[in-house]
Structure 1
Amino acid sequence: MLKLTNIADYAVVLMSRLALGGNRLNAQDLSLLTGIPLPTVSKVLHLLSRSGVLVAHRGVAGGYTLARGAEAISIADIIEAVDGPIAVTHCADTETSDCCIDHTCNVRPHWQVINGAVRGALDDVKLSALAAPAGGCSAGHKEA
């Protein structure tokens, strides 16, 4: 089963919540709004701001805002900010592998193609689409 880490899942939830409004939100507010425990929120916000998809504002009116518009941030950007490069298998991510069948594996080059397709699909989904109401359309898209 291909599965995101809990941290990546929480990162998408927090970023989606920040994309809903233009206000700065601090870790405590985000914890209350999302139901994610405060220590986890703090950890995820730190990772997201360190990677450049969030901006941390200090001071009394501090909090977090998106580093760029929600339409310019992909789900792949968020996942990679907290988990590192997206890789379906270990050999899809690196040039060298510690796999015991690496020297005879004829599937390895194909995993890189599959990995590119998965990453591309996640890159095509923008944060603005997740911030839109369920069943609605995101900004810039018209319903058919």
Structure 2
Amino acid sequence: MRLSSLADYAVVLLTAAARHCGGTGRMSATTLAEETGVPLPTAQKLVSRLAAAGLIDSTRGTGGGIRLSRPPATITLADIVEAVEGPIAMTACVEHGAQDCGLDHQCSVKPHWPVVNAAVRGALAGVSLAQLAGRPDFPSVRASTGSARMDPLLSEVSL
């Protein structure tokens, strides 16, 4: 399993935005593209998708730019991936309305995919943008939900 380049770039862009004033200051897509190495047309495309998903606010013109729509600790990796990729699903057969598999009516595994999808989404939802930004002054998603224990594997995530 691998994220698309667009989803990866969205994580990189939002992580850079979170590093700047906790995402509360405005930055241009051009500045983000230059800082991260993401091509400007791709950054502009992602700004549209991320704004449509409610993860960033975008304002055009003088004094405009983009900023996170909420604190980095409340934006998760799952939020970012779903903004770009759509709902997290390991196979197409579990998506509503997708019936493109010849084994669909006799598949004994299909009923179990929602459990797997929930586990993957849960793992991604457990990683906040604050953690990815490496900002110790941001509380983590887990800390804000009452559990201060940090998963040692997640603490090694870096971009």
Identity within the alignment, %: 44
CA distance, structure 2, for counterparts of residue 92 and residue 124 of structure 1: 23
Is the alpha carbon distance of 1:95 and 1:143 closer, same or farther for their aligned partners in structure 2, counting shifts above 3 Å? Answer: closer
Q: Which residue of 1 aligns with 2:112?
A: 110
Question: Alignment partner for residue 102 of structure 2, among 92, 100, 103?
Answer: 100
What is residue 89 of structure 1 aligned with on the other side? 91
Residue type of the alignment partner of 1:46: S
Which aligned pairs between 1:50-61 and structure 2 lie closer than 5 A? Answer: 50-61=52-63
Structure 1 spans left out of the alignment, 5+ residues: none
Conserved in 1, the CA contact under 8 Å of 2:72 and 2:138?
A: no
Q: What is the one-letter code of the residue matched to 1:66?
A: L
Please list the CA deviations of residues 2-28 of structure 1 after superposition, one character each: whole Å capped at 9, or x if unmatched. Answer: 011110000000000000112211011
Q: Following TM superposition, where does structure 1 have runs of at least 4 consecutive aligned residues deviating by more than 4 angstroms?
A: 141-144
Aligned length: 140
Task: Provide the secondary structure at the position in 2 that maps to 1:64.
Answer: strand
Choose the corresponding residue for 2:48, options 46, 49, 56. Answer: 46
The aligned residue for residue 17 of structure 1 is: 16
Q: Give the C-alpha shift of residue 54 in structure 1.
A: 0.4
Q: Deviations over 1:26-68 (max 9, x none)?
A: 0110111001111011001111011110000222111100000
The Cα of 1:139 is off from its aligned counterpart by 2.5
What TM-score results when the alignment is normalised by the length of structure 1? 0.90
Q: Flag structure 2 segments of 5+ consecutive residues without an equivalent.
A: 141-147, 151-159
Normalising to structure 2: TM-score of the pair? 0.82
Give the alignment's Cα RMSD to 1 decimal: 1.8
TM-aligned CA deviation for residue 110 of structure 1: 1.0
